[in-house]
Structure 1
Amino acid sequence: MTDHPATDHEMTDHEVTGHEIPSRAEDRPAARIDTTVPHPARRYDYWLGGKDNFAADRASGDAIAAAFPTIRTAAIENRRFLARAVTFLAREAGIRQFLDIGTGIPAANNTHQVAQSIAPDARVVYVDNDPIVLAHARALLASSPDGATAYIDADLRDPEKILAQPDLRSTLDLSRPVALMLIAVLHFITDDDNPRRIVTRLIDALPSGSYLAVSHATYDGVPPEMITGGSGRHGTLAMRSWSAIAEFFDGLEFVEPGLVPTAQWRDDDEPQPRPLLSDVQMYGGVARIP
């Protein structure tokens, strides 16, 4: 996952939701894909053992793995956190609507698959700005017959555009609770882009009883030599401390156990012992919007 604020957690002739791909060649997904430059979504796919990646992505992934040997564990545990968070939201919190921003390349247990396995009528809107996700949109849009999914080509940095999309409004009822999923995406938003403002705008658009789920890379426990510039940015990631990540949840009501390493969030049914923060370098949490 370069500076990719709408990817994880990436239609040629997309007709399922009425979203038409522009006819100009330069606007088509294939024209927007540069296979010679490593891309964060494709690199993430490589770490998960997927096939939607290229030599540049694998070389970049291997270089990061050399410095952070447990990166594959981190990627896998992030997906497991997503599945557990969606399971809680659908089963225990009764949520039937999900807004998943930063979808990423489809992998096992996408948000709609987990939610609809519990509640077949669950409705999911995916948001991403990555041409690779565009190329796999058909897989993302395989909803259950009773539910619905939609895909929006937009950037997390532009919440107004996301909220104004007709496909979002026709799929989700924003007068009823929605789970806002920001999984492994906010660390692609630097402080210059004011991520707290972005999250607050999205939260303000949702009614009481909605939820926010976040996973976010951290530099807590990272050796000082891996943190560049003293700003918490490691490579292309805006890695943040526990307290800085917790600020995204200001005013919300944390679900137990709060903001913890992703591998340790509601992990009772996972194989033990669980990976440590030093293995995953990512916090995760879910909170209710009062």
Structure 2
Amino acid sequence: MNNRIRTDIAHNARVWNYWLGGKDNYPVDRAVGDQVVAFHPGIGEVARADRAFLGRAVTRLAAGEGVRQFLDVGTGLPTADNTHEVAQRIAPDARIVYVDNDPIVLTHARALLTSAPEGVTAYVDADARDPERIVAAAGETLDLSRPVAVLLLGILNFVPDTGEARRVVRTLMDAVPSGSFLVLTHPTLDPELGGEANEAAMAFWNENATPPITARTREEFTSFFEGLELLEPGIVSCSRWGAPEAAAVAQFGAVGRKP
């Protein structure tokens, strides 16, 4: 793995940070981010909707389902209301493990490693495509005999092979017990969600930034939840999960429970 931080090519974590109004980005990220917005003016709304979904999903799982352990894979750069902040506001004893393999994120990990005194927050430097390593490292902080919420928000789109992406999900969910949850978001070209606007933006991204991104259909997204029980409202635009009146964005969101 190359840990050198490239400042000459746009990077998804920094561009996403730019769209969310953060300051952890470089001129190249802002330039590419602005050009993607030119292709897809609503992309900033997608980023904000994905972040808001995180807050609603973690709130529901912590407050409504009693979940006290969270494994957040593909963390990205810290912004407001990170997983540990949302969870520990409800349950100060919540334990959170963040996972990312991005050197940019790693340098900011100390901002994620704060925790309520009663709880724990840890950071694992690992690639999402190495779920076995993630499970082994997470087990040092989380009790894998008790329910865990596994979060993969906007990360499987960076695993181009759908079979490999399914293997990642299967491996992670096989490692956690009954009563655990899978929380996913994923971009799509589905016209019902306005996904045609993603096509030109994704093509530009893949030519000018890293890592390359892959959209998936509703059927492909649904396949990640095989063997799980979807929580209401099922598979919807992530902006409408827990906020049914919100405008749709071209990003699926769903939460499934392991029976």
TM-score of the two chains, using structure 2 as the length reference: 0.92
3-state SS, counterpart of residue 134 of structure 2: helix
Structure 2 gap ranges (5+): 207-211
Q: In the alignment, which of 148, 151, 156 is matched to residue 123 of structure 2?
A: 151
Q: Is the contact between residue 219 and residue 227 of structure 1 (CA under 8 Å) also seen in structure 2?
A: no
Do structure 1's residue 260 and structure 2's residue 230 form an aligned pair? no
- Name the SS of the counterpart of 1:170 in structure 2: coil
Match of 1:54 in 2: 26
Q: Which amino acid aligns with 1:81?
A: F
Considering only aligned residues, what root-mean-square deviation do their CA atoms show, in Å? 2.2
**Alignment partners' CA distance in 1, 2:205 and 2:173:** 28
CA distance in 2, matches of 1:92, 1:224: 35
How far the C-alpha of 1:223 sits from its partner, in A, is 3.2
- Quote the Cα distance in structure 2 between the aligned partners of 1:202 and 1:256: 22
Match of 2:209 in 1: none
| Residues 1:282 and 2:251 are matched in the alignment | yes
Per-residue Cα deviation, 1:179-218 (whole angstroms, up to 9, x for no partner): 0000111111111661001110111001000000001001
Distance in 2 (CA, whole Å) between partners of 1:178 and 1:119 is 14
SS of the residue corresponding to residue 81 of structure 2 reads coil
Q: Does 1:209 align with 2:185?
A: no
Structure number with bigger Rg: 1
Aligned to 2:13: 41
Instruction: Note the alpha carbon deviations across 1:16-60, whole angstroms, 9 max, x for none.
Output: xxxxxxxxxx98x6xx10111100000000000100000111111
Amino acid at match of 1:209: G
Shift of 1:133: 1.0
Query: How big is each residue's C-alpha offset from its partner over 1:101-148, in whole Å with a ceiling of 9 and x where there is no partner?
Result: 000000111000000000000000000001111111111000000000
Aligned to 1:93: 65
Which 10-residue stretch deviates more, 156-165 or 187-196? 187-196
Q: Equivalences for 1:135-284 in 2 at 5 Å? A: 135-165=107-137, 168-191=138-161, 194-221=164-191, 222-223=195-196, 226=199, 235=206, 236-267=212-243, 273-276=245-248, 280-284=249-253
Q: 1:225 to 1:150 in 2, by over 3 A?
A: closer
- Contact 2:39–2:197 (8 Å) recurs in 1: no
TM-score where L is the length of structure 1:
0.82
